[in-house]
Amino acid sequence: MRIRVSTKAELYEQCKQQHIERGYRIEDERPVAVNGLCSFVAVREESESDSVDALVAEALGGKMR
């Protein structure tokens, strides 16, 4: 899963650290503020079993347990 995270310049390092602690890898850092916002891409690889569970739940039209 890849997500672009945008945050205020003064919260950039804190936000980045929170994503690292949650198991994300940080890519494409843009620490210089543009219009008051900095950004980075947070990437987390899903395990094979998580992907299969999500696909089964989607196929059955229900939520994952």
Instruction: Give per-residue pLDDT as tens, 9-35.
Output: 999 999 999 999 999 999 999 999 999
Q: How many CB atoms lie within 10 A of CB 33?
A: 14
Q: What angle do CA 26, 33, 8 make, to 5 degrees?
A: 75
Q: Which parts of 9-48 are beta strand (E)?
A: 25-34, 37-43
pLDDT at 59 over 90: no
Residue that wins the pLDDT comparison between 24 and 62: 24
Q: Is the pTM of this model over 0.75?
A: no
- Report the share of the chain in percent with pLDDT over 70: 82
Query: Given pLDDT bands bounded at 50, 70 and 90, which one contains residue 50?
Result: low
CA–CA dist 40, 58 (Å, integer): 29
